[in-house]
């Protein structure tokens, strides 16, 4: 572990035409932290994620991962070399594959350099697949999906698919995951389970998180520190206790 924050972003800016989606935002995530990112619709949260993870390039600003500058790297390179992953709001699973295969494939896509080895052709690849399967089973048990591990993912509920997707993201052993509204559209019971999965990954696997989430109860319960964006700028930053009583934050959400 180095002295630098795990993720350090300085003065990030991105415009779409005349819209300054992100307008000079600095933010860091410490090693081992679960940091929250909130703000009204259109405040630039997803654009911030896009620029931090290489999906789109910022107009200006710097992105550093564990002290290494990665500004301008592609999404793929940031994922593989930087071991920083992101989720999107839409849930994506391989519907025809069972839960276990979904996780094994997720691990293989990252671990192997070519198609033959991705699909387990060759002795070395088969040994590797076996170790991925062991890892997959641990994650499936931790996600509470053990009973349904041989069911096709497409037959499971939306919430269960979210859990599969989240567990799949852990297969390549990321050090940082950026989650874009992980609780959107799932019922309260499953919200608890997704929160448990995030906490498990944080405590047991050492994964750090930056989480965009509209559900304020979820953010204040998961995160020790919260950053608030409004109109592309950082409006506030602090502990959950500080954020919920912050007058500027209340005005941004309530419109005055």
Ligand X SMILES: Nc1ncnc2c1ncn2[C@@H]1O[C@H](COP(=O)(O)OP(=O)(O)O)[C@@H](O)[C@H]1O
Binding site for ligand X (CB under 6 A): 16, 19, 21, 39, 41-47
Residue closest to Mg ion (Cβ):
46
Interacting positions 190-209 with Mg ion (CB under 5 A): none
- The least distance separating ligand X from the CB of residue 190, rounded to whole angstroms, comes to 22
Number of neighbours of residue 256 by Cβ within 10 angstroms: 5
- When the beta carbons of 44 and 58 are compared against ligand X, the nearer one is 44
- When the beta carbons of 39 and 159 are compared against Mg ion, the nearer one is 39
Sheet holding 7-16, edge to edge: 19-29, 7-16, 60-65, 68-69
Q: How is 210-256 classified by DSSP, letter by letter? A: EEE-S-HHHHHHH-SEEEEEETTEEEEEE-HHHHHH-HHHHHHHHT-
Q: Provide the pairing of β-strand 60-65 with 7-16.
A: antiparallel
Q: Determine the interface stretch with Mg ion among 45-53, 94-102, 192-200, 233-241 (rule: CB under 5 A).
A: 45-53
What's the Rg (C-alpha) of the chain? Answer: 19
Q: Which does 146 bind (CB under 5 to 8 A by kind): ligand X, Mg ion, none?
A: none
Q: Which does 172 bind (CB under 5 to 8 A by kind): ligand X, Mg ion, none?
A: none
- When the beta carbons of 103 and 235 are compared against Mg ion, the nearer one is 235
Residue pair 6/31 in contact by the 8 Å Cβ criterion: yes
- When the beta carbons of 46 and 108 are compared against ligand X, the nearer one is 46
Q: Which of 8, 23, 44, 46 binds Mg ion (CB under 5 A)?
A: 46
Does 215 contact Mg ion by CB under 5 A? no
42, two tokens: 């259109």
**Residues lying near Mg ion in the complex (CB under 5 A):** 46
């Amino acid at each position: 572990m180095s002295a630098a924050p795990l993720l350090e972003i300085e003065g990030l800016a991105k415009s779409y035409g005349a819209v300054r989606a992100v307008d000079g935002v600095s933010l860091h995530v410490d090693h081992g932290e679960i940091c929250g990112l909130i703000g009204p619709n259109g405040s630039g949260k997803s654009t911030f994620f896009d620029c931090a993870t290489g999906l789109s390039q910022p107009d200006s600003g710097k992105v550093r991962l564990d002290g290494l500058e990665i500004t301008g790297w592609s999404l793929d390179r940031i994922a593989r070399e930087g071991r920083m992953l992101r989720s999107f709001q839409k849930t994506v699973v391989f519907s025809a594959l069972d839960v276990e295969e979904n996780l094994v494939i997720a691990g293989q896509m990252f671990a192997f350099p070519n198609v033959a080895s991705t699909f387990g052709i060759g002795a070395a690849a088969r040994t590797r697949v076996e170790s991925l399967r062991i890892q997959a089973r641990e994650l499936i048990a931790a996600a509470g999906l053990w009973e349904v591990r041989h069911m096709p993912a497409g037959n499971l509920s939306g919430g269960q698919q979210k859990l599969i997707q989240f567990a799949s993201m852990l297969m390549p052993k990321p050090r940082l995951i950026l989650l874009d509204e992980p609780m959107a559209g799932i019922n309260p019971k499953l919200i608890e389970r997704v929160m448990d999965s995030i906490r498990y990954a944080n405590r047991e696997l050492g994964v750090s998180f930056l989480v965009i989430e509209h559900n304020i109860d979820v953010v204040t319960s998961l995160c020790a520190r919260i950053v608030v964006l409004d109109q592309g700028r950082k409006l506030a930053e602090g502990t959950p206790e500080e954020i919920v009583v912050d007058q500027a934050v209340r005005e941004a959400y309530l419109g005055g």
